[in-house]
Amino acid sequence: MTSNVRVERDSMGPVEVPADALYGAQTMRAVHNFPVSGLRFPRSFIRALALIKLAAAQVNLAMGRLDPKLAEAIVQAAQEVADGRWDDHFPIDVFQTGSGTSTNMNANEVIANRAIQILGGELGSKLVHPNDHVNMSQSSNDVIPTAIHVAAYLEVETALLPALRHLHEALQAKAVEFDDVLKTGRTHLMDAMPVRLGQEFSGYAAQIEAGIERVQATLPRLAELALGGTAVGTGVNAVPGFAAAVAQRLSEMTGLPFREAENHFAAQAAMDTAVELSGQLKTVAVSLMKISNDLRWMNSGPIAGLGEIALPDLQPGSSIMPGKVNPVIPEAVMMVCAQVFGNDVAVTVAGQSGNFELNVMLPVLAYNLLQSITLLANASRILADKAIAGARANRERMLNLVDKNPILATALNPVIGYDRAAQVVKKAYAEGRTVKEVVVELGFLSEEEATRLLDARPMTGK
């Protein structure tokens, strides 16, 4: 042993670890075994793990299974991990053992060694044992699925849903602001009957509102926790009441309605709720992709494009074309959506990888699910604040195009019939004239009738 390392031991023998590391032998073995991606579990997952360990220690103490002195040190250490103080001591790659055992043991070792420090002991001494004390009444097989649910619920509740509500409010405000703005509707990217710009934005707001409802609908199942099933769902080594008591402690700490899973075999062998949530996140991403694409099209120009709206100018758009400004926020959001689509595929494949009593792709499922939540929350906020809020309508340009568009003849169908209306449209297109001029010239309507029937505003409804 040198001054830079110390020796820790596990069931396979001694391992050298950095002298100041809070983790131990099993973490070090995993670091050596899985040099795959450099990707680490996010802060939200480490926090959830620590909260589980904290609650478990409190319950084991209350049940008389854990020495009060040790329990107090474990609780303090776990709280420090939950607060982010020791994130640098979680070095294991996401691509590791499928149960997440390496990361569960990483947490056990960090909390145990930090608790030893708190008690004045020597790192690695096992005065506080990572398995016997920190992992008491638990298994990686129920801890990691529990951490996925706890972390996802917390991130949805504190980050994603507030961001989506913020975006919904921004879209709804623009729906009101733009309610009097007439524009040409489009189907197949071709001219269609007029709509109001506010109606389009009301559609976007409704998409986000439905996305909020979809995500919220998953939360009751996300609140069910696998903890208490231990190795295979039978609860071996956990005393009756442990799981329910830990869920209650977690609820008290977070303010969220966590509860013990109704069926521990399903909770550990399958991750259907995580797959369900990922599917809802994908749907939200589909909505954001549609909205962002529409914004790009409407903002296109400013001379040769649609030029219906102007998004805020945020940064130069070209290294060679002076003065060019691009719709960078919608583009960034669209890339987020593409990533979420891919994440959902990974979560789906991981979710179906439950073999008998255990899912064996838990780490990659956790990483992708939590990344999707974070990306969508951040993207929703920047879309609301840096694109939607500052969007301006080019009212005169849109109205001018509405009045000149021969497609308005559609409104004449009930009066002059489809065939005559089509004749009017073709002649107006060919000669570059208005529908009103042509329909009056052909003698199908009087000028007064044409003026009344071709008023675009009533065509858009109430």
Amino acid of residue 303: I
Burial of 276: CB neighbours in 10 Å, binned 0-12, 13-18, 19+: middle
Please say if 300 is a catalytic residue.
no
The catalytically annotated residue of 37, 125, 318, 446 is 318
The catalytically annotated residue of 3, 11, 188, 319 is 188
Please say if 188 is a catalytic residue.
yes
Amino acid of residue 29: R
- Contact status, residue 277 vs residue 215, Cβ threshold 8 Å: yes
Burial of 32: CB neighbours in 10 Å, binned 0-12, 13-18, 19+: exposed
- Contact status, residue 141 vs residue 119, Cβ threshold 8 Å: no
Cα–Cα distance, 126 to 112 (Å, whole number): 8
- Contact status, residue 205 vs residue 172, Cβ threshold 8 Å: yes
Cα–Cα distance, 51 to 84 (Å, whole number): 12
Task: Please state, in angstroms and as integers, the Cα–Cα distance from residue 34 to each residue in 77, 91, 110, 427, following that order.
Answer: 26, 10, 19, 71
- Contact status, residue 156 vs residue 215, Cβ threshold 8 Å: yes
Helix (H), strand (E) counts: the chain: 18, 10
3-state class (DSSP) for residue 230: coil
Cα–Cα distance, 388 to 95 (Å, whole number): 38
Q: What tokens appear for 411 in the block?
A: 């409104």
Cα–Cα distance, 384 to 388 (Å, whole number): 5
Phi then psi for residue 300, to 5 deg, are -60, 145
3-state class (DSSP) for residue 358: strand
Residues with catalytic roles: 188, 318
